[in-house]
Amino acid sequence: MQETKALKETNFNFPGQTAFYRGKVRDVYSFQDELIMIASDRISAFDHILPRPIPYKGQVLNQIARKFLTLTNDIVPNWLTNSPHPNVSIGVKAQPFKVEMVIRGYLAGHSWRVYSSGERVLSGVTLPAGLKENDKLPSPVITPATKAESGHDEDISREEIIKQGIVSEQDYEMLETYTHNLYKRGSEIADSKGLILVDTKYEFGKLGDKIYLIDEVHTPDSSRYFYKENYAQLQSEGKPQKHLSKEFVRQWLIENGFQGLEGQSMPELPDEFVLSASDRYIELYEKLTGEAFVKAEQETLKSDIENAVLSYLQKK
């Protein structure tokens, strides 16, 4: 098996660093009053990290997130303050709310899997009867999930979030407003590029009395996109939609007998899948931003990232 060049993980020790956390995709370096997030090329699905990284995936995620944070900062303040390298984001250290604000405009992915099992209520939201996969919902719905430290995130209703004190009612109402407005903006931008923003998730944090949008925004890991062209025709013919998102990874895993369930083994990832996934991420970047993707140098990627962060820290 060919070993493709990709950033699987980092293990830096920066001056002033107070803590380190490795997430599913990002390596997070904590400092007194800020976070430095390095987007690796790791890829996860069904809450499991796949055994091989996807070249350029981290760069794609980081650059899309950076662009959308800039394009939405008139809606809600966000955490980002600097990006000294294509794989690196630096920003304020807000206390995360322990919920993901998932918003869905279409019945796809997890919502369809729940719906097709016969359930009609998702995260306390009742879905209309008579829908088929990938149908547009009458209006976008928020179906929150708890943010798990490890393992599976769990669907949870608005009422339970407030009842359990996970988020105060006042803050939650703000999160709902921000989520609807962000999804509207993201949908408009996607539409202008010939895409449909099917669903997405947002994470928020609080610093003092101020709520911030944190983490990634409108990336293929946090969002699902369809091509707008042929959407209506494919729906009327009952055919699958063409995705620009991580859904193709989940579908490949399902076809190879893995959904993260007990007793299932992660399949080996062939070279052609890894390279195809890389191409799909780059395709989404170019389609969504309208810009050519400029690949960061892979041979010196780790040292380039380290030097960029050290240079940033020295200038502070």
Answer whether residue 250 shows pLDDT above 90.
Answer: no
pLDDT in tens, 263-302: 999 999 999 999 999 998 999 899 999 999 999 999 999 9
Domains of the chain, residue spans: 18-316
> Considering the entire predicted model, what is its pTM?
0.90
The per-residue pLDDT of the chain, averaged, comes to 93
Answer whether residue 220 shows pLDDT above 80.
Answer: yes
pLDDT in tens, 136-177: 999 999 999 997 655 567 999 999 999 999 999 999 999 999
Three-state secondary structure readout of the chain: CCCCCCCCCCCCCCCCCCEEEECCCEEEEECCCEEEEEECCCCEECCEECCCCCCCHHHHHHHHHHHHHHHCCCCCCECEEEEEECCEEEEECCEECCEEEEEEEECCCHHHHHHHCCCCEECCEECCCCCCCCCEEEEEEECCEECCCCCCCCECCHHHHHHCCCCCHHHHHHHHHHHHHHHHHHHHHHHHCCEEEEEEEEEEEEECCEEEEECCCCCCCCEEEEECCCHHHHHHCCCCCCECCCHHHHHHHHHCCCCCCCCCCCCCCCHHHHHHHHHHHHHHHHHHHCCCCCCCCCCCHHHHHHHHHHHHHHHC
pLDDT (average), residues 6-33: 95
pLDDT (average), residues 128-137: 97
pLDDT of residue 1: 40
Answer whether residue 244 shows pLDDT above 90.
Answer: no
* Confidence category of residue 7, pLDDT binned at 50, 70, 90: very high
CATH fold of 18-316: D-amino Acid Aminotransferase; Chain A, domain 1 (3.30.470)
* Confidence category of residue 94, pLDDT binned at 50, 70, 90: very high
pLDDT of residue 2: 45
